[in-house]
Amino acid sequence: MSTTVFIPIITVDGPSGSGKGTICRLLSQQLGWHLLDSGALYRLTAVAARHHGIPMTDEESLKVVAAHLDVQFLAGTAAEIKIVLEGEEVTDAIRTEAIGADASIVAAMPSVRQALLQRQRDFAALPGLIADGRDMGTVVFPEARLKVYLDASAEERASRRYKQLISKGLSASLEDILLDIQARDERDMNRSISPLKPAPDAVILDTTQLTIEEVLEVVLDEAKHKGLR
């Protein structure tokens, strides 16, 4: 007789700059669970395509790139995960706004999403998984015990991104970032496949006026309610 092992999963979805990555890293540290940064897979597909000279319009070739991504997620210092693509470290290179925009374009292609689906599900392992993305609660892990949807005003999200870039010593324009965020929201929310939207059973949290610590506390409380800690 085979038994199915229950793997606890917390999904965290939401638009760019809502705080998903930050909260997911902290949750993964506090609970000691695995972490899936699904956005990184779409970013890596865009970077690999650029390396191979494939235009972001060529869905047939992009699907092949996504299906054969040669990537390793290596444990680095603290919560930092080192990402190696085709033997080259790309941890920072995949985080630019330009790659974010390309990722959002390839992510609207059904065959690219299909090619990455099983790879994402394979991250589920004991003692548990924190899954960060756009469709974690709706499509990839619909059985997750706790689903969180983080949101914040576009202006607040742009301001967070702006501060993040400036603190890294990069130059940035707040207006350009706001326009980029609005364009990405529009594409991610209105695509025909797996659009960004809260799962019907998601806990929706507007973080515009909340600190990172406050958001973490609410999510940890919800996890406790669901018997996850």
Ligand X SMILES: Nc1ncnc2c1ncn2[C@@H]1O[C@H](COP(=O)(O)OP(=O)(O)O)[C@@H](O)[C@H]1O
Tell me if 16 is assigned to a ligand binding site.
Answer: yes
The entry of ligand X, ligand YYY, none that residue 104 binds, CB within 5 to 8 Å by partner kind: ligand YYY
Q: Is residue 107 within the footprint of ligand YYY (CB under 6 A)?
A: yes
Q: What is the 3-state secondary structure (H, E, C) of 2-24?
A: CCCCCCCEEEEECCCCCCHHHHH
Subset of residues 38 to 57 that bind ligand YYY, contact rule: CB under 6 A: 38-39, 42-43
Residue 137 CB, nearest approach to ligand YYY (Å): 10
Q: Is 17 exposed, middle or buried (0-12, 13-18, 19+ CB in 10 A)?
A: buried
Subset of residues 160 to 219 that bind ligand YYY, contact rule: CB under 6 A: 184, 188
Of 27, 62, 83, 100, which lies in the binding site for ligand YYY, with binding defined by CB under 6 A? Answer: 100
Q: Is residue 104 within the footprint of ligand YYY (CB under 6 A)?
A: yes
Number of residues in contact with ligand X, rule: CB under 6 A? 16
Residue whose CB is less far from ligand X, 67 or 105: 105
Give one word for 38, left, alpha or beta, with left for phi > 0 and alpha for psi -120 to 50: alpha
**Measured between alpha carbons, how far is 104 from 99 in angstroms, rounded to an integer?**
8
Q: Is 68 exposed, middle or buried (0-12, 13-18, 19+ CB in 10 A)?
A: exposed
Q: Is residue 218 within the footprint of ligand X (CB under 6 A)?
A: no
- Burial of 134-161, coded b for 16+ CB within 10 Å and e otherwise, reads bbbbbbbbeebbbbbbbbbebebbbbbb
Helix ranges, 79-226 (H): 97-106, 110-121, 154-167, 174-190, 212-225
Q: Is residue 29 within the footprint of ligand X (CB under 6 A)?
A: no
The entry of ligand YYY, ligand X, none that residue 184 binds, CB within 5 to 8 Å by partner kind: ligand YYY
User: Rule CB under 6 A: which residues touch ligand YYY?
Assistant: 16, 21, 38-39, 42-43, 100, 103-104, 107, 133-135, 184, 188
Annotated binding-site ranges for ATP:
14-22
User: Rule CB under 6 A: which residues touch ligand X?
Assistant: 14, 16-22, 160-161, 164, 207, 210-212, 215
